[in-house]
Amino acid sequence: MNYLNKKNAGLIVLSVVVVLVAATLIGYIVTRTVAGKKSGLNGEATTLYTTTDPALTTAVPTTVWPPVFTSAPTSPAYATLYPGDTSPYTAAYTTLFSGDTASYTTAYYSGDTSPYTTAYVPAVTTGVYNILDDENIAVLAEPTVISIREDLWFLALVNNQYAMPADYVVNTAPAIPGSDVLLEARVAEKYTEMYNAAALEGIYLTPYSGYRSYERQANNYARKTQFYLDQGYSEAEAKAKAAMVIMPPGCSDHNLGLAMDIIATNDNFYTTPEYAWLCAHAEEYGFILRYPADKQHITKVEYEPWHWRYVGVDFAKAINASNMCLEEYLAAAGLMPTPYVVGVDSPGVG
């Protein structure tokens, strides 16, 4: 009798353990599914939310999605970025700190980049220094044609290293009702929302330049290249200089219909109420400043306070919170583009 009682007790304990383990697994699955749906891309759960996804397990040791990074990667030393030319650096610092350059130099060269970020960047913003001068010209290589994921179409990275497929189709719509400036249709909806919200506060984010066809981008780039050729630059130098201002065809956010130049391409746009409003609220509608002043050495594009790129609300907030530009963020999150494979990848429709 005692033996049977012990045996029954053992079976009961084993059953309880099995039930607890099963409940735990079910709870985990339900929690992950609910979490994915709550923070999903455009309200949808995707495989990116599982802990088996390489973007989370290798690049980002967290289950939070989109990931937020507590600090941006350490930038190279000033001497590396601008070899032999310290005068703009000194001038920028002197203006802000009344001639005391010693502490700034000591802080920066000791590896502490925070003074550079917080003190030097405002000077760059006001045009004291532009890193994309002749000393930084690099011959452009042929860009890699990328595959655009249907579930992450809004994170497609195009720049002078990456190009969209030439036959990628973008479905467009007016950026705001009645405008002849277009955006990718889904982005246009968000831009209209942002425009209306700003208008309620007396801020008018007039669309200036949105979607551009491949052909129009090619013409714009050719004209800018010719401008530099006429100044005596070689063809390779002229193309590289032009790409600092206008991306080659297929390499621009505008070709994807994901970016808007707002009001005008004016260097002083950063001084306007419209720019201040965008800095405070654009992320709420999925837009980020695409080419910040302090990221020129990464983007290889001049500071453009008027150029705002759509990346989705969740990612806009995560990118801004991480203090990164789009290139930095996608690299850190394991979301850099993959090459387009002819005959395997569909060019897709935006």
Catalytic residues: 304
Q: Name the residue among 252, 236, 95 with its Cα closest to residue 168.
A: 252
Residue 254, Ramachandran bin (φ over 0: left; ψ between -120 and 50: alpha; else beta) = alpha
What distance in Å separates the CA atoms of residue 187 and residue 154, rounded to the nearest whole number?
A: 9
What is the C-alpha separation between 337 and 326, in angstroms, rounded? 12
DSSP annotation of 270 = G
Q: Are strands 162-163 and 259-262 parallel, antiparallel or unpaired?
A: unpaired
- Preceding amide of 66 cis, omega within 30: yes
Show Cβ contacts of residue 142 under 8 Å, excluding neighbours closer than 6 positions: none
Bridge partner list, 207: 262
6 phi-psi bin (left φ>0, alpha ψ -120 to 50, beta other): alpha
Cα dihedral sign for 46, 51, 52, 56?
positive
| Token digits of residue 120 | 């030097």
